[in-house]
């Protein structure tokens, strides 16, 4: 239990605190030598540990080893270095109090005015694919303890957890010390830093112990750092910002190569575009408006430029809606695709890479936003959605990587078994359907959407919308429904439009009526046994 707080009248005011002694222990050595040089020039004693001390010493700067301060050598393979009263006494002493100052003098402990610590690379180690003890060894113990101690004592100590803060600290050292306002801001960043770190560790343990059929975590902490403040949210009267989550590999981690700053709606649509394009195995493109696909397609067979072919075929599904859309490609955007887009107004293009020649073409469209995905982009294993007063957590809705595995458990309930071409088309429609807001109906031909019915409050309206958008292209196409047909009327709309095959989950009390309508028309129908709602 913490001791009682001292009488407020005993506290001496401290605003600017001169830096005489600094504790430096960092995993990320970026900017370290510039900081060490500035501290040395100002006559600051540098106390350090392990590789940090060695790096500073090799650069010709004086440094005091922590072991020389504590009188105890580092032990247990470096697990214990700074966990000692002569370190933490110097971090936690509140020198606004004469009694704390006297206790330090009696114990022979010198205070620190600056602490520079960044933690073991736990998140990076997990991301590298390491396992087991290799990850556990990157769980920092002494580092967070020092950071939290210094941050708590920000009235006397400046805590720095990122090389980004070094220039401001160097300036303060040269100006005579850190101010209380500065130290409080640094403390806020420090507590956020340790909170994010602990969250990443907790998430790894929770994920690693969660087996098939086990309950989801009883406790869930999600920590994210603000990447940018946006102009406004979904509408102009709403505030908004974009945050990045430790360990994320998606839109929030993409690099913007050109164009206006991203908006809230741009991010939402770009994420929906990824959902649509990255389900496909072949070179594919998805065009999104208001978080719904207006066109998804894979490349035409034997296309000279597969990704450009996929884009043209996706655009043909609904050229009117594609105006002002957001595009995602699951392959490098080529010069040909860029040239095809020259006269099409587009808000955002998301891709794993862009050919240099394509970037040159896009320079003429200065407002066009280009997002390059991180190299380690991958779909998340879990989906999180905020609701009033809490959040929902679920497994991510994923498809097998192997295209034919998608259909291996389908049940043929009507018509003859299709050939590979038609089956592949059905698989494409089924995958595309997952990216469409429910109720969702997709009509596809030659691995490209020709009609999409989305977001209707009943399935028959979605069927009518998909057929209407497809027009004459509906005849000879295949259809996918994200959930079962509650009545035969929706399926009949598709049958009357001339579709040749339907894939749907099945499971309705009226399945037999729906199947009977397909049989009478000679239409192939599969039950998948699973649905793909997307709300």
The reply to whether 223 belongs to the active site is no
pLDDT for 256 equals 94
Q: What is the 3-state secondary structure (H, E, C) of 158-198?
A: EEECCHHHHHHHHHHHHHCCECHHHHHHHHHHHHHHHHHHH
* Token reading at 476: 């000879």
Task: Copy the structure tokens of residue 299.
Answer: 């490349």
- pLDDT tens digits, 149-158: 888 888 888 8
Tens of pLDDT, residue by residue, the chain (535 residues): 455 556 565 556 667 878 888 888 888 888 888 888 988 988 888 888 888 888 989 888 988 887 777 767 776 766 666 677 778 788 878 877 777 778 777 888 888 889 898 876 666 666 666 667 777 776 767 778 888 888 888 888 889 888 888 898 898 888 888 888 888 888 888 888 888 777 777 777 766 544 444 567 777 767 777 889 999 999 999 999 998 876 677 888 899 999 999 999 999 999 898 888 888 889 999 999 998 899 999 999 989 999 999 999 999 999 999 999 999 999 999 999 999 999 999 999 999 999 999 999 999 999 999 999 987 666 566 778 888 888 888 877 888 877 788 888 999 999 989 999 999 999 999 999 998 998 999 999 999 999 999 989 999 999 999 999 999 999 999 999 999 999 999 999 999 999 999 999 999 999 999 999 999 999 999 999 998 898 8
What would the two tokens of residue 329 be?
A: 């490609």
What domains are defined for the chain?
15-208 (3.40.50.1380), 251-372 (3.40.140.20), 407-527 (3.40.140.20)
What are the pLDDT digits (tens) for 423-447? 999 999 999 999 899 899 999 999 9
The active-site residue, picked from 61, 86, 152, 260, is: 152
Active site residue 366: no
Q: Which of 84, 223, 260, 290 is catalytic?
A: 290
**Count of H-run helices and E-run strands, the chain:** 19, 21
- The predicted model scores a pTM of 0.70
pLDDT at residue 1, rounded to an integer: 47
Give the pair of three-digit tokens for residue 234.
């979904």
Q: Residue 228, CB half-sphere, CA atoms under 13 Å: how many?
A: 14
Instruction: Report the length, in residues, of the chain.
Output: 535
């Amino acid at each position: 239990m913490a001791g009682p707080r001292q009488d407020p009248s005993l506290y001496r005011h401290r605003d600017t605190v001169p830096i005489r002694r600094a504790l430096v222990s960092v995993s990320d050595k970026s900017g370290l030598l510039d900081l060490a040089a500035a501290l040395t020039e100002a006559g600051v004693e540098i106390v350090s540990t392990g590789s940090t001390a060695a790096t500073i010493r090799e650069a010709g700067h004086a440094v005091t080893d922590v072991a020389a301060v504590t009188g105890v050598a580092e032990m247990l393979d470096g697990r214990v270095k700074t966990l000692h009263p002569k370190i933490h006494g110097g971090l936690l002493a509140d020198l606004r109090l004469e009694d704390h100052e006297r206790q330090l003098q009696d114990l022979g402990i010198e205070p620190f005015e600056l602490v520079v610590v960044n933690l073991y690379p736990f998140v990076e180690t997990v991301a590298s694919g390491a396992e087991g003890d290799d990850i556990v060894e990157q769980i920092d113990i002494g580092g967070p303890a020092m950071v939290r101690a210094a941050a708590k004592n920000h009235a006397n100590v400046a805590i720095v957890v990122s090389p980004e803060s070094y220039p401001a600290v160097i300036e303060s050292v040269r100006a005579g010390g850190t101010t209380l306002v500065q130290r409080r801001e640094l403390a806020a960043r420090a507590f956020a830093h340790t909170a994010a770190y602990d969250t990443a560790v907790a998430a790894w343990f929770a994920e690693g112990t969660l087996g098939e059929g086990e309950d989801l975590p009883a406790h869930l902490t999600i920590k994210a750092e603000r990447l940018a403040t946006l102009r406004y949210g979904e509408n102009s009267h709403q505030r908004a910002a974009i945050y990045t989550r430790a360990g994320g590999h998606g839109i929030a981690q993409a690099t913007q190569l050109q164009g206006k700053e991203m908006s809230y709606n741009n991010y939402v649509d770009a994420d929906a575009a990824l959902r649509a394009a990255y389900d496909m195995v072949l070179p594919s493109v998805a065009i999104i408006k208001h978080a719904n696909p207006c066109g998804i397609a894979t490349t035409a067979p034997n296309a000279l430029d597969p990704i450009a072919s996929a884009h043209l075929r996706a655009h043909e599904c609904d050229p009117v809606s594609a105006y002002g859309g957001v595009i995602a490609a699951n392959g490098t955007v080529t010069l040909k695709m860029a040239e095809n887009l020259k006269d099409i107004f587009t808000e955002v293009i998301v891709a794993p890479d862009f050919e240099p020649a394509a970037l040159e073409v896009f320079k003429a469209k200065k407002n066009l936003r280009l997002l390059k995905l991180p190299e380690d982009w991958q779909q998340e294993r879990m989906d999180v959605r905020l609701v009033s007063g809490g959040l929902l957590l679920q497994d991510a809705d994923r498809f097998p990587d192997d295209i034919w595995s998608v259909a291996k458990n389908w049940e043929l309930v009507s018509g003859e078994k299709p050939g590979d071409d038609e089956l592949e088309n059905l698989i494409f429609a089924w995958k595309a359907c997952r990216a469409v807001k429910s109720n969702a109906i997709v009509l596809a031909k030659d691995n490209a959407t020709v009609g999409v019915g989305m977001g209707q409050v009943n399935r028959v309206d979605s069927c009518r919308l998909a057929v209407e958008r497809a027009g004459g292209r509906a005849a000879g196409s295949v259809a996918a429904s994200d959930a079962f047909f509650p009545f035969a009327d929706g399926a009949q709309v598709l049958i009357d439009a001339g579709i040749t095959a339907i894939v749907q989950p099945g499971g309705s009390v009226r399945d037999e009526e729906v199947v009977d309508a397909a049989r009478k028309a000679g239409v192939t129908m599969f039950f998948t046994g699973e649905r793909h709602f997307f709300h």
